[in-house]
Amino acid sequence: MAAIELNGVTKRFEDDDGVFETLQLSSTPSVTAVNDLSFSVAEGEVFGFLGPNGAGKSTTINMLLDFVRPTEGTIRVLGHDAQAESVAVRRRTGVLPEGYDVYDRLTGREHVEFAIQSKEADDDPDELLSRVGLDPEDAGRRAGGYSKGMTQRLALAMALAGSPDLLILDEPSSGLDPAGAREMREIVRAEAERGATVFFSSHVLGQVEAVCDRVGIMRNGELIAEDSIRGLRSRIGTDSVLRLDVDGNADLAAVRNVEGVSSVDADGERLAVSCTDDAKTSVIEAIEASGATVADFETDTASLEDIFIAYTEGGKTTEETEVSA
């Protein structure tokens, strides 16, 4: 069974329809935040939900949690309808929402106790708090005085209460320093090892690369790619850029003919060859065979960041990539 399953989900935000707004004659045009979105996340999977700000990630997550309702389509989470059976979903889900705030007057520990009570769990609040790196002194203080990073740790502790089957984390690393972000990843990994499904969003690739089994990339309310990190890499087609300083005239046509080479750019005696990892040796051999010598070379591995930018900013590779769902 899939932990999360979306089917043709669309969310349009119409203008507000509060009692008072209906009296006003102004109307704002509706905005389509999510458009015909379908994908699923398997049980036990760590799924990274990527995309630039405003791509529809949070709206999607808010629909999983029934904070907002889809205009069209169906959503099932842990086998329950996300709208009709939202409480059942949230009983087994730990959530780190986006755009939340803590109760200023309750202490950190009271927040965690409230989460434990609500989930009818029997965790030790101090254990959860130390797990997310909130020291006991801070845990006893009112959360109103917390920094963004401490608030984020507190919310994560609340999410972990009751050993949920599913963790939904919306931009979990925001507000955390690099060390905090690393601890966050370690917690995600530990939860996945325990058997939990983890669904988390990020606009920072580095957070995702190390922990995700699979990623989905959102742009303008649509899922434009869904694959493993390796799959995404290979789909971009170019794994590495080989930069070479060449003495003499290399036969560029011969280099282009090497299997696995996708492009060759020459700038005087400097060549930049985009190719797969396996093709590197053949490229150097082809250059030397044409009578030139390779004085020096270096390899740039295409980072996930490059892939991400290629997808989300609509480079030529994006146009060629079919969306798989």
Enumerate binding residues for another protein (CB under 8 A). 13, 16, 18-21, 62, 65-69, 86-88, 90-91, 95-103, 105-106, 111, 114-115, 117-120, 155, 158-159
Q: How far apart, in whole angstroms, are the C-alpha atoms of residue 42 and residue 210?
A: 19
Q: Which residue shows structure tokens 């801070």?
A: 138
- Nearest approach in angstroms of CB 222 to another protein is 20
Closer residue to another protein (CB): 14 or 247:
14
Closer residue to another protein (CB): 67 or 297:
67
Closer residue to another protein (CB): 25 or 87:
87
Q: Which residue shows structure tokens 């109307």?
A: 27
Long-range contacts of 305-309 (CB under 8 A, 24+ apart): 305/205, 305/206, 306/236, 307/232, 307/233, 307/236, 308/50, 308/205, 308/217
- Report the Cα 115 to chain-centroid distance in Å: 25
- Nearest approach in angstroms of CB 272 to another protein is 48
Beta-sheet strand order (sheet of 197-202): 93-96, 166-170, 197-202, 46-50, 214-219, 222-227
Q: Are 274 and 266 in contact (CB under 8 A)?
A: no
Closer residue to another protein (CB): 101 or 313:
101
Closer residue to another protein (CB): 170 or 306:
170
- Nearest approach in angstroms of CB 296 to another protein is 55
Q: Which residue shows structure tokens 């109103």?
A: 144
- Nearest approach in angstroms of CB 11 to another protein is 9
Please, which residues have CB within 8 angstroms of residue 216's CB and are 6 or more apart in sequence? 39, 47, 48, 49, 50, 223, 225, 226
Closer residue to another protein (CB): 103 or 320:
103
Closer residue to another protein (CB): 90 or 280:
90
Copy the structure tokens of residue 28. Answer: 């704002």
193 backbone dihedrals φ, ψ, rounded to 5°: -65, -35
- Nearest approach in angstroms of CB 163 to another protein is 14
DSSP string, 162-223: T--SEEEEESTTTT--HHHHHHHHHHHHHHHHHT-EEEEEES-HHHHHTT-SEEEEEETTEE
Residue 55 corresponds to which amino acid?
A: A
- Nearest approach in angstroms of CB 95 to another protein is 4
- Nearest approach in angstroms of CB 113 to another protein is 10
Closer residue to another protein (CB): 85 or 288:
85
- Nearest approach in angstroms of CB 52 to another protein is 22
Residue 209 corresponds to which amino acid?
A: E
